[in-house]
Structure 1
Amino acid sequence: MSYDDLVGEALTVPFEGWDFGVFRGRMIEESGALPWSYEEMVKERLPYAGSLLDLGTGGGELLASFAPLPEGTVATEGWAPNVPVARKRLEPMGVRVVEVGDDDRLPLPDRSFELVVSRHESYDLDELRRVLKPGGTFVTQQVGGADLAEINTALGAEPHEYAGWDLASAAAQLTEAGFEVSWRGEAKVATVFHDVGALVLFLRITPWHVPGFDVERYGDRLRALHEEMRAGRPLTAHAHRFALIARPVS
């Protein structure tokens, strides 16, 4: 496909929830290379959890895959277009989906959940401590501040505003807030973009990655990347991930 065709498709193709099937074979993330499995960490704890809160559920795809879920499971979502998608998927399973704002405040009662999980979602430490039951557990996998930094470099864009967000800073914040971190891990794994359309679509659905991204503004850089990719030289970037398991100290 031509540059114009790839970019035109990327700007118009429907995308909902966090179903990355549209990227299959075009953007390849070696997520299996992580030395831990977030999914397994959650699954291991579900049989012992009488209540569950999923922060930033997206379209509910991952949470639904954990079924059967504890009775009264609640999911939050802060991106308005995802809320009806998540409700359509999760409410028939008995999961309540709560829309939240950018401040990470949780309109939920104190001490409501034995297990709180968060995959790539921000959280407020005071709110987290408030909604966890005594002895409860927090499991999270986060996107680090060095995530796919090679994209920003290739486009001549500014680095992430959250460049300092990493395992050490997250663990220190949790400890200072009265949590005990029982496990932690951090890694970088390759993510390969094989065509410029996949890159543009990725930046379209992650507007925080390159704030103000516009195909006209970055047209020269994108066209240069397109020629490199056509010549068999895809753009390789590195996903920065870290994960923690913690519980509030009584």
Structure 2
Amino acid sequence: MKQDELFMTYVNGANQPFQGWDFSWITGTGRLHSEPLSWSYGSMAIAQIQKATSLLDMGTGGGEFLSMLRPLPAKTSATEGYLPNIPVAKERLEPLGVQVLQVEDDDRLPFEDGSFELILNKHESFSAKEVRRLIAERGIFLTQQVGGEDCGQLNEKLGLPLPTDYTEWKLETAVRQLEENGFRILCSKEEYPTQRFYDVGALIYYLRAIPWQAPDFDVERQMEALYWIHQEMQSKGYLAIRQHRFLILAEAI
């Protein structure tokens, strides 16, 4: 197959539906791979769940991750801000006894003060003040966040501006916000793992799934840049991009 034909095969093949927060169409086939972190958010979440009688999962997506942390506390709720994910999450989580609620404002969530002993948050924005309101005394907040430096090289290669809303979002900022709102930090880590894309179709699929990374991304407009990326992938075998992740385990005081 000629280079141009292969490129268009990848481009056209990227037109696949994305549902919930499930990247298995590209991760399950080995087309996207991320370097492991030194921690496991999932293992830490399970350890905390065993000690909690009430749980809130913020930004549950389609409920994929939360559903794999069973058994869950009898009182478990989940929030999600992206409307198409709501029916997916409800179908997956409500049979497990989980209340799923759509939310629009991080500063005011639909729960009473001190409602939860444990709040989980994986890659979801949050208000430290609101999390403190919701959490019980000595309750635990566990979050893994995507930092503001995440995948900036993608934007550079595509000739697109970097998103500016989260440029300063990093471990130091999040720790300060939590400490200022009544939390004691038990554990905190920040790392920059490498993510590899092995074909340009996987890259297109990924960018469409996370439109906030490059809001102006359009396949037709970026076709030339995508082709240069394709050639780099064919020559090197992959495209390596630096991610930005940090983890915080905090206790309400």
Q: TM-score, normalised by structure 1?
A: 0.94
Are residue 138 (structure 1) and residue 159 (structure 2) matched? no
Matches for 1:20-59 after TM superposition, within 5 Å: 20-24=23-27, 25-30=30-35, 33-59=36-62
SS of residue matched to 1:57 = coil
Aligned position for 2:235: 231
Q: Distance in 2 between matches of 1:104 and 1:28?
A: 34
2:91 to 88, 92, 101: 88
Are residue 5 (structure 1) and residue 18 (structure 2) matched? no
SS of residue matched to 2:240 = strand
Aligned position for 1:172: 176
SS of residue matched to 2:236 = coil
Q: Structure 1 pair 102/3, CA: closer, same or farther in 2 (3 Å)?
A: farther
Equivalent residues of 2:55, 2:117 under 8 A apart: yes
Q: Distance in 1 between matches of 2:17 and 2:213?
A: 20
Are residue 248 (structure 1) and residue 227 (structure 2) matched? no
Between 109-118 and 210-219, report the one with greater CA deviation: 210-219
Aligned position for 2:190: 186
Between 120-129 and 67-76, report the one with greater CA deviation: 120-129
SS of residue matched to 1:18 = coil
1:202 Cα deviation after fit: 0.5
Residue segments in structure 1 that go unaligned for 5+ positions in a row:
none
1:102 Cα deviation after fit: 4.5
Deviations 1:168-197 (A, max 9, x none): 111011111221111100111110011111
Q: Distance in 2 between matches of 1:235 and 1:91?
A: 39
Residue segments in structure 2 that go unaligned for 5+ positions in a row:
none
Equivalent residues of 2:106, 2:125 under 8 A apart: no
1:104 Cα deviation after fit: 4.8
SS of residue matched to 1:169 = helix
Equivalent residues of 2:149, 2:244 under 8 A apart: yes
Q: Distance in 1 between matches of 2:205 and 2:108?
A: 30
Between 50-59 and 18-27, report the one with greater CA deviation: 18-27
Aligned position for 1:125: 128
Q: Distance in 1 between matches of 2:32 and 2:58?
A: 26
Percent identity over the alignment? Answer: 46
Q: Distance in 1 between matches of 2:161 and 2:241?
A: 16
Residue identity matched to 1:179 = F
1:146 Cα deviation after fit: 0.9
SS of residue matched to 2:201 = helix
4+ residue runs of structure 1 moved beyond 2 angstroms? 1-5, 102-105, 230-233
SS of residue matched to 1:16 = coil
Equivalent residues of 2:160, 2:216 under 8 A apart: no
Deviations 1:147-166 (A, max 9, x none): 11111111122123112111
1:63 to 61, 66, 76: 66
Q: TM-score, normalised by structure 2?
A: 0.93
Deviations 1:14-72 (A, max 9, x none): 22111111113111112xx2111111111111111000000000111110111000002
1:139 Cα deviation after fit: 0.3
Aligned position for 2:202: 198
Deviations 1:189-214 (A, max 9, x none): 11001111111110101000011211
Are residue 160 (structure 1) and residue 169 (structure 2) matched? no
What's the RMSD between the two structures over aligned residues? 1.3
SS of residue matched to 1:199 = helix
Deviations 1:67-93 (A, max 9, x none): 000002000011111111110000000
Residue identity matched to 1:170 = A
1:134 Cα deviation after fit: 1.1
